[in-house]
Every structure is written in C-alpha cells, then in structure tokens.
Structure 1
C-alpha cells in the first residue's frame, strides 16, 4: 500500500508521543462510570448466585438459570470491549477509550437491572 494512502486512512504509521495533559477528567469519569456498572452487574450476579444456591439446595435444576445469566453477562460486557478494538476507537486515548466502553456498558447494565426488576410483575 502507498504510504501516503495509509497515512490518510489510518493516521501516521509511527506511534506519536503520548500527551497526558487534559486526560485526568476523562480517566476519573471513566472510573466512576465503570464503578456504577460494576455495582449494578455485581448486584445482579449476587442475586443469581443466591437463586442458584437456594434452587440447588431445594433439589431444583438450576443449569438453565446459570447458563442464561452467564450468557447475558458475557454479551453485556463483551459488546463494549469489542467496541474498543474498532479502528476509530483505537485512535482515542486510553482514558477516552475506557469512557467510551463505559458509556456503552452503562445503558446495557441499566437495561438488565430494569428487566430483572420488572420481570416478576
């Protein structure tokens, strides 16, 4: 490939010096967003584990609940992580990339919490 075409499409071929200025706010905000996501999904995981243990103690089959919850959690966290590996996201700074992934994970986590909360009604 022509080096000028590569540079026009993907940016410079050599790593640029990392500038740390102005990224503290994004890093702190990303940490707060991921803390909220962790609390939300951690609470749901705790509920599922309690349900699995109680069901197993009562002699009920719990494999479906455990498998379904694992698949939902994998998709909920896999989508934001996959997003960070896309070429446009790779051009962002690391704190901005974490913030982007957290911004995608937060609505997913809130949706899971809302779905579980309204499922029994």
Structure 2
C-alpha cells in the first residue's frame, strides 16, 4: 500500500505498544484455572452423554436432559464471557481477563457439580 494513502486514510502510523512484563505468570495461572474448569465440566458432560445415549437406546424421551444441559452450559460460559466485556474489565490485560473469567467460572462449575451430586442421593 502506498504510505501516503495509508496516512490519508488512517492517520500517521503508531508503533505497537511494548508487551508488559510479568504477564507470563498470570497467563500460566489462568491456564491452570481454566484447565480445572474444563476437567470439572467433563463430568456433567459425560453424564449427559450417557443419559442421552442410553435414553435414546431404550426409547425414553431425552429432550429435557438436552435442554437443561444446554442451559447449564450457556450459563456456565455466558456469565464469564459477559463479564469480560464490561468496560473496567476490558482495561485489564488479556491474561488478567482470562484469569478473572476463570475465577468466576470455577465456583459456577463447582456449584453445578454439588447440585448434581445432591440430586443423586
């Protein structure tokens, strides 16, 4: 692209900001938190898969199971994602946003697992 055309369209070029130091630890911690969240979510997902699989094999209607599992999944990931789009959170660095969202998702998933365990007894 012609540099004069770029300047006319977008204004003078600015150098990219330097990456912040100290973000590697936050990124690793956020990755660990999300790994725990995903491992915890694999348990209800497995239960839903087995319920749908065996329910369909025996002819039992499984629409309610699919509906509730979809709502739980959307709620579990919808709340942290909506949180990351709030203006004060958007000012944080990307690893800090992931850590905050994981910190919100972890109690949600833990609460869902406690609720599932309490329904079985």
Partner of 1:99: 99
CA displacement at 1:19 relative to structure 2: 2.8
**Aligned-residue RMSD, C-alpha:** 1.6
- Count matched residues: 108
Larger radius of gyration: 2
Partner of 1:68: 68
Alpha carbons of 1:18 and 1:80: their partners in 2 closer, same or farther (altered >3 Å)?
A: farther
Aligned pairs (5 A) from 1:1-121: 17-121=17-121
Distance in 2, Cα, partners of 1:57 & 1:107: 34
Structure 2, unmatched stretches of 5+, are 1-13
Distance in 1, Cα, partners of 2:72 & 2:47: 14
Distance in 2, Cα, partners of 1:77 & 1:120: 24
Q: Is the partner of 2:92 in helix, strand or coil?
A: coil
CA displacement at 1:44 relative to structure 2: 1.0
Distance in 2, Cα, partners of 1:19 & 1:39: 31
| TM-score normalised per structure 2 | 0.84
Distance in 2, Cα, partners of 1:18 & 1:87: 22
Structure 1, unmatched stretches of 5+, are 1-13
